[in-house]
Amino acid sequence: MTHWIIAPIVLPALLAPFIVLAARYHINIQRVISVAGALSLMTIAAGLVWQTSDGTILLYQLGDWAAPFGIVLVGDRLSTLMVLLTAVLALFVLLYAIGSGWDDRGRHFHALFQFQLMGIVGAFLTGDLFNLFVFFEVLLIASYGLMIHAGGNARLRAGVQYVLFNLIGSTLFLFALGSIYAETGTLNMADLAQRVSQIGAEETVGIRVAAVLLLLVFAIKAALVPLHFWLPSSYAEAPAPVAALFSIMTKVGVYAIIRVYTMIFPPDLAVTAGMHDVWLLPAALVSLAIGMIGVLAAKRLDRLVAFSIIGSMGMVMVAISFFTPEGIATALYYTLHSTLSGAALFLIVDLVRTGRANLDLSSQPVMAGASLTAGLFFVGAIAMTGMPPLSGFLGKLLLLDAAYNTDLMVWIWAIVLGSSLISIVGFVRAGSVLFWKARSIEAPDDVEDTQRPVALSYCAVGGLIALIVALTVFGGQVHGYTKTIAAQLFAPEPYIAAVLDTPGKLSTPKKEDH
């Protein structure tokens, strides 16, 4: 049993109260602690990815209680990759928050930031559904505090809407957990994978209800149409660094769908056959279309980016809905891309906000640092719309290839390509209004120096753009790794064995059979 796997959860859980108790009134000390914590988290996550890259399943039994009776943390290729993505994103978002001064516009930003990381990382590493619910609630509470950071009526109103919608999801989650426990007597994922497969055809009502409820819960987290209404206002009104960090939160829903519906309710399971794979694809295509139409119709830049997140989630869900190794590999590659590009665009929105009266897509005086901001927006827009040569284009090619032999290939190709064109038009319109038409208006002379973006802000955005470029350059290697992840997901026996075959004793990591 390795203890490193619990470190990504314990580290932010310890740093958050320490910041509140020891550095509450010292913003510079808070910044140093947070950045050091983010760097440490990224280092640990990289080590975990290295350990699991050969197929090793990492296991940690809290209190040395064996599964399914005790709480377990499990690290495989998928979970450790998502932890690393979270850690890398958190570092650049934190640097931007410090450079822009957002962290000093309200209280307890850094403590809430650490609690948020704890909830996200815990959701990726937990090995049972009840603790997935617990970590959902941790990240929900922390995200609400971050969302209303710096105050404002519009932000508070959007925050209340965000909380209420997610509380509905939490209630449904509890109902689903109750149904599953009543039918199987366990909530451990590995144990559930075995017990659900043994349920007879005449006793499937409860487990089928639970499977549908879980899909609804995860669809809310992933902002899948028609459960997406909370996202546009919430992300648009949130502080820019918070909205950028929220780019990974929708991926928690993606992760949960992939984990649960490849291990517990796989496509070939007769008990739940046709309950998720049939309905997920139409909902994903509608999400993709509505998201990109929202991009075209948006009248504010922040809402435009928020709708592009919905569209990108639709793209990911289309790939997942195939429930094939090729589809899951494509979904994971596009998940990496959409997380980085969405976060970069939200930070660029904040750069655009500097020196402007508002974020309306209307001609206004040139903002400070317009040339550099325009260049970053141009690259971010190319990435999000899926134009060549960046990773979004590669992801869409992989999606079209994965859909080639499906029954709805024509519809999938038409909607993917059509929505791409619509998003291009929407981003071109926004860019021309913000940066080209603004040239004809004199810039104000009274913009204070404190309003101008500082170098650290640009470095943070540039770092995310550099990661998008790296994801493009090393696209073949990254996609190859996502294919190994998909292969591991569709052969869960080593995962199940690692969790259940270690009764009450320290164990060594187990590897897949090659």
**Per-position DSSP letters for 220-232, written without gaps between them:** HHTT-TTS-TTHH
Q: What pLDDT, on a 0 to 100 scale, did the predictor assign at position 449?
A: 42
Q: Which residues contact 286 (CB under 8 A, 6 or more apart)?
A: 225, 226, 314
Give mean pLDDT, residues 159-188.
Answer: 92
Residue 269 has pLDDT above 60, yes or no: yes
Q: Does position 513 have pLDDT exceeding 50, yes or no? A: no
Kindly tell me if the per-residue pLDDT of 247 is higher than 50. Answer: yes
More confident residue, 347 or 450: 347
- Does residue 418 contact residue 412 with C-beta atoms inside 8 Å? no
Question: What's the rounded Cα separation, in Å, for the pair 252 and 352?
Answer: 29
The residue among 73, 90, 74, 82 whose CA lies nearest residue 37 is 90
Give the dihedral sign, CA 284/289/294/295.
Answer: positive
pLDDT tens profile 357-405: 678 888 776 665 678 888 999 999 999 999 999 999 999 999 999 999 8
Which amino acid, residue 340?
L
Residue 260 or residue 275, greater confidence: 260
CB 31 within 8 A of CB 470: no
Angle between helices 455-473 and 325-353 (to 10 degrees): 160
Mean pLDDT of 194-216: 86
Does residue 127 carry a pLDDT above 60?
yes
Answer whether 232's CB lies under 8 Å from 191's CB: no
User: Model pTM?
Assistant: 0.93
pLDDT score recorded for residue 268? 84
pLDDT at 353: 84
Cα-based angle 148, 152, 157 (whole degrees, multiple of 5): 70
Q: Which residue has the tokens 């932000």?
A: 155
Distance in angstroms (rounded) separating the CA atoms of residues 145 and 243:
13
3-state secondary structure of 107: coil
Phi, psi of 198 (to 5 degrees): -100, 0
Longest dimension (CA), the chain: 76
Inter-residue contact 270 to 208 (CB < 8 Å) = no
Instruction: Note the pLDDT tens digit of each residue in 211-241.
Output: 999 999 999 999 998 888 899 999 999 999 9
**17 φψ region: left (φ > 0), alpha (ψ -120 to 50), beta (else):** alpha
Gap between the Cα atoms of 267 and 249, Å rounded: 25
Q: What is the pLDDT of residue 324?
A: 92
The whole-number pLDDT of residue 446 equals: 47
Q: Is residue 511 over pLDDT 50?
A: no
Q: Can you give the pLDDT at residue 66? A: 82
274 — pLDDT class (breaks 50, 70, 90)? confident
Q: What is the mean pLDDT of the chain?
A: 89
Residues 432-465: pLDDT tens digits? 888 887 655 555 554 444 455 678 999 999 999 9
Mean pLDDT of 86-110: 93
Which amino acid is residue 417, in one-letter code?
L
Comparing 49-53, 266-270, 288-292, the range with the smallest average pLDDT is 266-270
504 has pLDDT over 50: no
What is the dihedral angle through the alpha carbons of 303, 117, 193, 403, rounded to the nearest 10 degrees? 30
Count CB neighbours of 404 within 10 A. 10
SS3 letters across 119-180: HHHHHHHECEHHHHHHHHHHHHHHHHHHHCCCCCHHHHHHHHHHHHHHHHHHHHHHHHHHHH
Closest among 54, 108, 58, 109 to 83, alpha carbons compared = 58
Contacts of 306 (CB under 8 A, 6+ apart): 231, 232, 233, 234, 235, 236, 243, 294
In which band, very low, low, confident or very high, does the pLDDT at 189 lie, cut at 50, 70 and 90?
very high
